[in-house]
Amino acid sequence: MEYKLFYAPGTASMAVHWMLIELGVPFEAILVDIERGDQRNPNYLKLNPTGRVPTLVVDGMPYGETVALMMLLAERHAESGLVPEPASLKRAEWLQLAIYIANTLMPAMRDWLYAAKDGDPEGASAVKALAEKRISSVWDDFEARLLKNGDYLLGDDFGMVDMLAIMLMRWSRNMPCSAIDRPGLRDYVERIIRRPSFIELSTREGLSGWPA
């Protein structure tokens, strides 16, 4: 198995980068300098026509979309335990939660962060207000899951959905709906960011300490 990750620090590639480190598999990490416009370089667009990160080259073939890449890695390295076994009662819940994050939380995050850039600047405040409500509703759901399930979103075992959640909670750090303003979610974050793989990720990407 051969992996080559095109990434930009702190962006949607962060969770894929983290997962590769957590898995302990060999991979090459190639920085895409967003500020310099590397994502619009013709050579990069050949790999990922959307001009976004991440791109993961798997055995010579490029693929995109964070959640899909993480699902792929988890399936290829099933021994990691980062997703429930196919016959497990947790499998359906995992699939539901992963798609929920991809379809609900990630678009709401983008709406909040890029409301003026992606749409009409005059309507940006309304878009952000709606996005903030949607993000907060997900934090409500996560809190309820943790209260019911234990240390992690699917129970006692750390996994792929926790990596996604932590990445997106970090994105919310400068929003009015910051996840760590909620004591239950702050405890969840502080527990997970002590993992050696997250510490290594932060070192490699040059991420500042979080939560403060």
Please tell me whether residues 107 and 16 are part of one structural domain.
Answer: no
**DSSP assignment, residue 53?**
S
In a domain, 85, yes or no: no
Provide the residue type at 64 as one letter: G
Whole-Å CA distances, 136 to 109, 129, 132, 133, 172: 11, 11, 6, 5, 10
End residue of a domain, out of 32, 47, 80 = 80
CATH number of the domain residue 52 falls in: 3.40.30.10
Please tell me whether residues 20 and 95 are part of one structural domain.
Answer: no
Burial 137-155 (b: 16+ CB within 10 A, else e): ebbeebbebbeeeeebbbb
Please tell me whether residues 123 and 162 are part of one structural domain.
Answer: yes
In a domain, 203, yes or no: no
DSSP lists the bridge partners of residue 155 as 152
Please tell me whether residues 183 and 114 are part of one structural domain.
Answer: yes
What pLDDT does 117 receive?
78
185 pLDDT more than 90: yes
Please tell me whether residues 58 and 135 are part of one structural domain.
Answer: no
DSSP lists the bridge partners of residue 64 as 55
> Do 142 and 185 touch, CB atoms closer than 8 A?
yes
Please tell me whether residues 113 and 133 are part of one structural domain.
Answer: yes
Closest to 66 in 3D by CA, of 132, 108, 11: 11
Instruction: Kindly report whether the global pTM for this prediction surpasses the value 0.85.
Output: yes
Please tell me whether residues 106 and 160 are part of one structural domain.
Answer: yes
Please tell me whether residues 71 and 102 are part of one structural domain.
Answer: no
Please tell me whether residues 96 and 189 are part of one structural domain.
Answer: yes
Distance, in Å, from the CA atom of 18 to the CA atom of 80, rounded to the nearest integer, reads 13
Please tell me whether residues 24 and 73 are part of one structural domain.
Answer: yes
The mean pLDDT of the chain is 94
- Give tens-digit pLDDT for 18-43: 999 999 999 999 999 999 999 999 99
Distance, in Å, from the CA atom of 78 to the CA atom of 93, rounded to the nearest integer, reads 17
Number of domains in the chain: 2
> Do 125 and 155 touch, CB atoms closer than 8 A?
no
End-to-end CA distance of the chain: give it in Å, rounded.
Answer: 38
End residue of a domain, out of 80, 111, 134 = 80
- Give tens-digit pLDDT for 131-169: 999 999 999 999 999 999 899 999 999 999 999 999 999
Please tell me whether residues 58 and 143 are part of one structural domain.
Answer: no
Please tell me whether residues 100 and 160 are part of one structural domain.
Answer: yes
Calculate Rg over the CA atoms of the chain: 17
The range of the structural domain enclosing residue 167 comes to 91-195
